[in-house]
Structures are given as C-alpha cells and as structure tokens.
Structure 1
C-alpha cells in the first residue's frame, strides 16, 4: 500500500466513473506523483544532457523508483493464465493510499505490495523486516491492505476465504526469510506467479466472477481519476530519457577509463623500454 501525498489531478487525467477499475494502469498513482514533481522542476541544461545528468528530480526519485518496481511486478503478473484477474493501483485511503496489485483466481484473493530495493539486503523474521539493517513497518501495511479487501469481499460471498497479503521484493541483492510471518508472504517478485499458481483452489469459478465484478466496480473504492494518454506518454518519455542518461554516464566513465589507461601507458612504457632495453 503506497502512501501518497494528496495532490490535484494531473493534466491528462479523466474521471473514472465511465470505466471500470480494470482501466487503472500499473503504478498509476505513483506515475501521477512523479509527473507532478517533474512539472515543477527546471529542464536540464544542454551541458547536463551532455554529461548524462539523471532527468528525474531528487524529490521525484522515490516515486519514480516505486513506479518502476510496481510496473516490473505487473509485467510478471501478465503471465498468469486465463481464470486469473489482476487490478492495479486501487485507491483505499483518504490520505491517498492505494493497493499496488489485487490478484483474484480460484486460488483465492491476494493483495500484492511491491517493494523496490535495488541491491539491498532484506531480512525477515516473524513481524520484523530489516532493509540494509533498518527496520521497516511493511508487514503492518500489507496486513492492513488484506483487511481492507476482506471488507469488500464479505458482502459478496457467504463464506469467503481470507484475503492473503503478499510483499513482492524487486531488485534486492539478498532476501532471507528466517522465520515466515504468520499472515503475510514475503518473496522475490520473480517467484510471485509460481507461488500464485501453486495455491489450491479456494474459490469456484462463479465466486471468482462475482468478486471480479465487485472489484472492477469503481463504487467499491474511493473516488479517483483515470490516467489519460498524455500521462502515460509523458512517463514513457521520462523513462526513455532516464535510460539514455544512464547510457551516457556509462560512456563517459568508459571514455575516462580509457584515457587514464592510455595516460599511464605513456608514462610506464618508456620506462619499461629503458629498463629492459639496457639489460
């Protein structure tokens, strides 16, 4: 569940009631926050573009990293077979909180909270989660997501199974679950589809259809706006700029390394010739 700063709807956003929650795109809430912060930033100068300065402003970087993580998880969930439904960025909190991904199939109902921790060490023991040694309250947030969706499920099914919260970790160098939490499943994002498909059937096909109909109804969630084409195009452009800037920085680093090696050779080689030539 992502905590968002309340903000006005971005340019290109359109009201949701005419569609369904299936129209929500992965990381939509985070994308909107990224673009709002980028819109207030000054453009990069020609020199900054030349040297490959990151186009994402410092204030927007946590939101951008979160959006990239959520979209990576969503891409993995697209591989689920027929019978599974996935919804994204569902608004549940009046302070702007959302559920990253909601997955429904005969194996049950699952909330998926994405955590993007590039090259980090993540350690889990019971209700304790440490990221690079620092405690994070992510289990409590995941449990709250499950309870929120339980309240939506309860009026639809007579005897529903509990919603199962999942934390999907993206990019971590190391993930160690020393003692599994009682309620929340913590796993690497790449293992998520396999975990879901391994679940025994808990719902009938009719129950799945009834739940999907309810989850797709905007009335089940807090009012929101849908992303217009301009929003998604702007984020795609920003992503391309980020990748191009990274390639530029790598090229500069390689070029400087070659110059450094060449400079060292100009100093070292004459010395070696003099040493061995006079032997």
Structure 2
C-alpha cells in the first residue's frame, strides 16, 4: 500500500470502551477491519454464519455493526454520505471452507488483505475527499468524549509492522520451547517418582 491510504488502529467508538480494530480510507473506499486470530483454526463460512472449529460466532454481526457505526459517524462529521465496508481478517487459520460468501461482509486471510484493498475490481479508484481525510483521524469523530487517542499510520510504517510481526513470531516460538521444556521436565519428574 502507498501514501494514498490512511490507516487508524484501535479506534474507540461510541460512549463506551469498545473499539474498531482498524479503519482504512483510501482510493477504493472506506473499510472497517475486524481482526480475528485463530492459529490452526478451521473456519466455515456461510451467508449468515462464520464458525470456528465447529463453534458459531457473532463475527459477521459485529463486523456489520462496526461498519454501520463508522458510516454514520463519518457521514455526520463530513456532511457527505460515507459508506464503510466491513472486513473480517482471519489470522493463522489452517483451513477455510466457504459454503457461500455474505454479500455485505468481506472475509479474507491476512495475506489477501492488501491485494484485495488495492484491487481495481473494487470499483473506480478515487482520491478521498480532503474533508473526509481531515476528520477521519479526529478522536471526536469516533468517540463521545473525544479524548481517546487514535493511532494513525500510513505506508511509511509498513517496515515497523513487519518487524513487529517477526518479533511476535519469535516470541511465540521461544514461549513454545519453554512450555515444551516445562512439560518434558514435569513428565521426567513424574516418571522418576513413579519408577523410583
């Protein structure tokens, strides 16, 4: 992605402590992104349901609600109609079975997101209105008290995020080694007690 995009992270919304994981504004539209981590998970997707490992979720409903809130707030703040598209990004899923895709919520793997956002198939590319860009990063646009901080990043931060992702991956690997070591030590101790 390039500098034509504005990306907000952990956007506080409404009067309470809820937030939208990410809001993206760019040449192909306005998008709310709900990120769901399910390492090794098996996903089933239908028009009205998204299941993880056979368990029903309310992810589609929440994604729709977040996009609707974003659309209303951006429309009110900018004075022009704004429609946000809800996206659910699945991180670490092992398999995704698509029975039928919902017409109003986009469901993607993390590696598909940037390509999908930039795709010309999303419709005509436009330059976001300056009025929209000026209000999208203002806390009062999103939250009732306007005091919540919103992190705004652009394409120049991609390297930082890539580094962060690698660090998180390494930390998870180190944690897995420690857990494995503790389990082995516990088993060895138990075995020693049983045979001793």
Q: TM-score, normalised by structure 1?
A: 0.53
Matched, 1:224 2:148: yes
Contact 1:108–1:201 under 8 Å retained in 2: no
What residue is the counterpart of 1:153 in the other structure? 74
Show the 5 A alignment for 1:260-271. Answer: none
- Give the Cα–Cα distance (whole angstroms) in 1 for the partners of residues 114 and 128 of structure 2: 22
Quickly say closer, same or farther: Cα 1:131–1:177, change in 2 above 3 A: same
- Give the Cα–Cα distance (whole angstroms) in 2 for the partners of residues 93 and 157 of structure 1: 19
The answer for unaligned runs of 5 or more in structure 2 is: 152-167, 189-196
Quickly say closer, same or farther: Cα 1:241–1:125, change in 2 above 3 A: closer
What residue is the counterpart of 2:158 in the other structure? none
SS of match in other structure, 2:10: strand
Contact 2:44–2:50 under 8 Å retained in 1: yes
> What per-residue deviation string (whole Å, max 9, x for no partner) do you get for residues 69-114 of structure 1?
xxxxxxxxxxx11201111000014331100000110100000000
What residue is the counterpart of 1:85 in the other structure? 6
Quote how far apart the aligned CAs of 1:157 are: 5.3
> What per-residue deviation string (whole Å, max 9, x for no partner) do you get for residues 135-166 of structure 1?
10110100011111111222425344x21000
Q: Quick check: which one's strand share is greater?
A: 2
- Give the Cα–Cα distance (whole angstroms) in 1 for the partners of residues 35 and 27 of structure 2: 22
Quickly say closer, same or farther: Cα 1:158–1:93, change in 2 above 3 A: closer
Contact 2:74–2:141 under 8 Å retained in 1: no
Match of 2:127 among 179, 202, 205: 205
Contact 1:177–1:186 under 8 Å retained in 2: no
What residue is the counterpart of 1:247 in the other structure? 177
Quote how far apart the aligned CAs of 1:200 are: 2.5
Contact 1:129–1:139 under 8 Å retained in 2: yes
Q: TM-score, normalised by structure 2?
A: 0.73
Q: Pairwise CA RMSD of aligned residues?
A: 3.0
The answer for unaligned runs of 5 or more in structure 1 is: 1-79, 228-238, 260-279
Number of aligned positions between the proteins: 166
- Give the Cα–Cα distance (whole angstroms) in 1 for the partners of residues 123 and 150 of structure 2: 34
Match of 1:94 among 2, 12, 15: 15
